[in-house]
Amino acid sequence: MFINGHWIGVQSGKTFDITNPATAEVIGQVPDGGVEETLQAIEAAYDAFPLWAALTAYQRSGFLYDAHRLMMENLEHLAQTMTREQGKPIRAARNEVKYGADFLLWYAEEAKRVYGQTIPAPRPDQRFIVLHQPVGVVGAITPWNYPVSMITRKVAPALAAGCTVVLKPAEATPLCAVEMFKLFEQAHLPPGVVNLVTAADPVPVGQTLLEDPRVRKLTFTGSTAVGKHIAREAASQLKRVSLELGGHAPFIVCKDADPVHAAKGAMLVKFLNTGQACISPNRIFVHRSQVEAFLDEAKKRISRMQAGNGMEAGVSIGPLIGPDALAKIDHQVKNALDLGAEVICGGKRLMGGGLDKGYFYAPTLLNKISPGMRIYREETFGPVAPVVPYDSEEEVVEMANDTHYGLAAYVYTQNLSRAVRMLEKLRFGIVGINDINPTAAAAPFGGMQESGLGREGGREGIAEYLETKLGGLSV
């Protein structure tokens, strides 16, 4: 753990094991922190806050530029750590490191643009000046599926704004966090500005961050259930919260779309990170006239996907993160088949050929999915592409919006008017139109409804870490 500029363990020496999900081998240990270490980290962040906030934006920006450079210099090492710890293919891990580094670069620049304003006042002797100031100590909790970029997406805007941070990474992927904090150390961030607490049990650390009044904001990426718990608990001290939660993205293939192009996009985004992404398509609505051509192309593409250890060349499907993920997917697929779905390919755990010890599930294509099936309602978080045939635009918009989630949606169409109608009517925070990667450090990312509160990235991302202060002057 990295607290107040020092690497420390817990006093008892207690650690927990980290395993490679492709092989089930133990690849490292990290300290098993708890309440005591979290309190130390909060104290360090609290003490560091006034000095960090008082630096000029140019000075804070300089640290972020350094951290960005260090990330790019250590890209390969970070990517290899990620593949061993989280399982994604090495090429995808490299892309994630680059995407993660972009947040440091972008917020190094944005730090200098935290503009206030002057407002015309109603009295002749009155002046209004609006300032933006950092909220204070931030507690950050990150997930395992994007173990590097979810750190920079929170830490970069928080530091740019002038906040200090206590971060708790997911218990499955703390090694990536440790490697990132080594780089923060090399960037010579002052002691206490960023602190890392690792723990096998997230609850004591999470509760301490929630209950300690010195922490003024919680930023969380993870499941909707835990996000709601955090929002409820944070309310007792009216701490600010940013929540990036689960999703259930519709992917809509319109009757005027090219079904081959749409299937290419759908398969690329569906199987990215083995489906373990909050913006992964979970319900693929295909116009009935396009279903056959779409399924043919999707099946062809799946047949070329190779599952295996992400370190091996040619592998595009890594393991799931653990046995619970396998069980959930197996259950969803069996339930769909029992209720009349048709399996086009896949539909089972992958064994043999060196895959037995890892948590591999075959890339799966299902057709004839209907509203009574679990997969139609629940986030899947795995390599299963469920196709739902539909007949009209009105019907598909209603079906797509029929979820309590609201993170990402995708539309494939060649009709501009339809594209605009869909963009306006879909109740999701991110809508990709003929585009499967509608994310970047410069763009606001986040969900509506039970997919979250607040945005990460873009101008909105730094506003989450700023208070607005009004100065009213009589002159």
Pick the closer one to ligand NAD by CB: 38 or 367: 38
Our finding on whether 202 is near ligand NAD (CB under 6 A) is yes
Q: What is the residue-wise DSSP string for 60-128? A: HHHHHHHHHHHHHHTHHHHHHHHHHHH---HHHHHHHHHHHHHHHHHHHHHGGG---EEE--SSTTEEE
The distance of closest approach from Cβ of residue 147 to ligand NAD in the complex, given in angstroms and rounded to an integer, is 10
Our finding on whether 364 is near ligand NAD (CB under 6 A) is no
Q: Out of 61, 83, 142, 198, which residue is the one contacting ligand NAD (CB under 6 A)?
A: 142
Distances (CA, A) of 202 to 4, 35, 42, 141, 235: 21, 10, 16, 9, 19
- Tokens 């997969």: give the residue: 375
Distances (CA, A) of 423 to 161, 265, 285: 32, 18, 16
Dist CA 83 CA 93 (whole Å): 6
Stretch that binds ligand NAD, among 18-26, 28-36, 139-147, 255-263 (CB under 6 A): 139-147
Dist CA 396 CA 285 (whole Å): 7
Q: Out of 244, 297, 450, 464, which residue is the one contacting ligand NAD (CB under 6 A)?
A: 244
Residue 266: other Cβ atoms inside 10 A: 26
- Binding string, 393-432, against ligand NAD, x = CB under 6 A? --------------x-------------------------
Q: Out of 27, 51, 119, 203, which residue is the one contacting ligand NAD (CB under 6 A)?
A: 203
Q: Out of 33, 162, 222, 259, which residue is the one contacting ligand NAD (CB under 6 A)?
A: 222
Kindly give the pairing relationship between strand 384-390 and strand 364-367.
Answer: parallel
Stretch that binds ligand NAD, among 244-252, 262-270, 355-363, 464-472 (CB under 6 A): 244-252
Distances (CA, A) of 69 to 64, 113, 161, 163, 263: 9, 21, 20, 21, 37
Q: Which residue in 236, 240, 235 sits closest to 154, CA to CA?
A: 240
Contact set for ligand NAD, span 249-288 (CB under 6 A): 278
Q: Which residue in 404, 397, 385, 402 sits closest to 246, CA to CA?
A: 404
Q: Could you tell me which residues are beta bridge partners of residue 196?
A: 2, 167
Our finding on whether 341 is near ligand NAD (CB under 6 A) is no
Stretch that binds ligand NAD, among 6-14, 217-225, 288-296, 347-355 (CB under 6 A): 217-225
The distance of closest approach from Cβ of residue 250 to ligand NAD in the complex, given in angstroms and rounded to an integer, is 15
Q: Which residue in 370, 328, 376, 375 sits closest to 349, CA to CA?
A: 328
Amino acid at 472: G
Active-site hit among 163, 176, 254, 278: 278
Q: Out of 100, 246, 259, 363, which residue is the one contacting ligand NAD (CB under 6 A)?
A: 246
Pick the closer one to ligand NAD by CB: 109 or 171: 171
Our finding on whether 157 is near ligand NAD (CB under 6 A) is no
Stretch that binds ligand NAD, among 5-13, 14-22, 83-91, 241-249 (CB under 6 A): 241-249
Our finding on whether 219 is near ligand NAD (CB under 6 A) is no
Q: Out of 221, 282, 364, 380, which residue is the one contacting ligand NAD (CB under 6 A)?
A: 221
Our finding on whether 229 is near ligand NAD (CB under 6 A) is yes
- Tokens 């499967």: give the residue: 436
The question of whether 278 is a catalytic residue gets the answer yes
For 201, phi and psi rounded to 5 degrees?
Answer: -110, 115
The question of whether 163 is a catalytic residue gets the answer no
Structure tokens at 103: 């947040």
Query: H/E element holding 283?
Result: strand 281-287
Question: Which residue is at the shortest CB distance from ligand NAD?
Answer: 206
The distance of closest approach from Cβ of residue 202 to ligand NAD in the complex, given in angstroms and rounded to an integer, is 3
Our finding on whether 149 is near ligand NAD (CB under 6 A) is no
Q: Which residue in 459, 239, 284 sits closest to 386, CA to CA?
A: 284
Given a contact cutoff of 8 angstroms between Cβ atoms, the answer to whether 186 and 70 are in contact is: yes
Q: Out of 247, 347, 406, 432, which residue is the one contacting ligand NAD (CB under 6 A)?
A: 247
Pick the closer one to ligand NAD by CB: 48 or 407: 407
Q: Out of 452, 454, 457, 461, which residue is the one contacting ligand NAD (CB under 6 A)?
A: 452
Pick the closer one to ligand NAD by CB: 162 or 246: 246
Our finding on whether 138 is near ligand NAD (CB under 6 A) is no
3-class DSSP assignment, residue 131: strand
Kindly give the pairing relationship between strand 137-141 and strand 126-134.
Answer: unpaired
Given a contact cutoff of 8 angstroms between Cβ atoms, the answer to whether 240 and 216 are in contact is: yes
Query: H/E element holding 26?
Result: strand 26-31
Q: Which residue in 279, 288, 298, 381 sits closest to 333, CA to CA?
A: 381
- Binding string, 372-391, against ligand NAD, x = CB under 6 A? -------x-x----------
Catalytic residues: 244, 278
Interacting residues toward ligand NAD by CB under 6 A: 141-146, 168, 170-171, 202-203, 206, 221-223, 226, 229, 244-247, 278, 379, 381, 407, 447, 452
